[in-house]
Amino acid sequence: MLPPSQKALVPFISVDHMMQLINHIGLEQMLTGLASAIEDDFKRWQSFDKTPRIASHSAEGVIELMPTADETAYGFKYVNGHPKNTRSGLQTVTAFGLLADVKTGYPVLLTEMTLLTALRTAATSAVAAKYLAPKAAGTMAMIGNGAQSEFQTIAMKAICGITCVRLYDIDPTATAKAAQNLAGQGIKVIRCSSPEHAIEGAQIITTCTADKQYATILTDNMIGAGVHINAIGGDCPGKTELHRDVLLRSDIFVEYPPQTRIEGEIQQLEPTHPVTELWRVIAGQSAGRTETKQITLFDSVGFAIEDFSALRYVRAQVHGTPFLQMLDLLADPNDPRDLFGMLKRSQPCPSPLEIV
């Protein structure tokens, strides 16, 4: 059988190649680049197809498909969320994604997105804080020190200029891990003994815990005036991190209300409770932080346009590098109408004696 033509080969970025690409670009530079791509796409929010992600829930977690498209490209991400996986040495979140040409339907990129999702989530958080956090915010409390914590911290440093992070996790080994990983990253790291200890002096409070339950990581009496809360752990029905009274005191910003009202912190509120879409702030159509004592809350659950931005960015960055391979993923018959003939020709030719 003849080898497939170049038009049928799909560029693929493996986990190893993604790590090499990140190291080639530089982690902070890549986070900054992803943030710029997300801002650019949020400014043209109206040009995208939008739908809440398609979720299959179980008692153990959730498996989701996150699709979107603009006039030239279609993208989707497959992602799971299984908090108990870490008990058996598995990742809580794994993902892969695909970008395709709208004109032909042919994929133009297939990539791992476990690492890439961590980066794009951190970049999105930092974009939100750029518009919503107090000016000259220098300290972030990072409550929940799992797989996201280091990326969140470094993104806030690179994009928002924080100089100190205060770490807390119910599991001290997670905090020790995060502190060790952040050593030498140019940011002061303080290990804390409780959520209350962690938020002391913090202008930005990020919550990123994993348990699939209605949790109360932050209570109303813990939150003083003028802070920005970056709530990213609650991302499915029945999973929240903040007491309802914290929400009632905050100006709330979200990605896509039809999805966030199902999955985010605001699932605790009435469906008519006012929220502001973050893209409107970035596009200059709505106000972000307007006063010093204002409490702002980014209720982030992750949205498909952010993944589209990440796929678009990575495709541009990987071009011309050795950090990809070409996959024989698409059937490529000589005659597009003769798929059966392609299959037939792939079989060994019979000997003349076998032909009756």
- Distance, in Å, from the CA atom of 28 to the CA atom of 160, rounded to the nearest integer, reads 12
Angle 27-43/304-318 helices, nearest 10 degrees?
Answer: 130
Q: In this structure, are residues 148 and 218 in contact, taking their beta carbons and an 8 Å threshold?
A: no
Structure tokens at 263: 């999955």
- 169, 235, 299, 307: which is the annotated catalytic residue? 235
Structure tokens at 194: 């409780």
3-state SS track over 179-246: HHHHCCCCCEEEECCCHHHHCCCCCEEEECCCCCCEEEEECHHHCCCCCEEEECCCCECCEEEECHHH
- Distance, in Å, from the CA atom of 209 to the CA atom of 232, rounded to the nearest integer, reads 8
3-state SS track over 123-137: HHHHHHHHHHCCCCC
Q: In this structure, are residues 256 and 303 in contact, taking their beta carbons and an 8 Å threshold?
A: yes
- Distance, in Å, from the CA atom of 214 to the CA atom of 236, rounded to the nearest integer, reads 10
Known catalytic membership, residue 245 = no
Structure tokens at 129: 């804080």
Helix (H) or strand (E) holding 316: helix 304-318
How far is the CA of 289 from the CAs of 5, 227, 302, 305, in angstroms? 53, 10, 21, 23
- Distance, in Å, from the CA atom of 134 to the CA atom of 90, rounded to the nearest integer, reads 37
How far is the CA of 26 from the CAs of 130, 158, 181, in angstroms? 21, 11, 16
| The residue to which tokens 């993902």 are assigned | 95
Going by their DSSP bridges, the two strands 54-57 and 62-69 should be labelled as antiparallel
* Residues involved in catalysis: 235
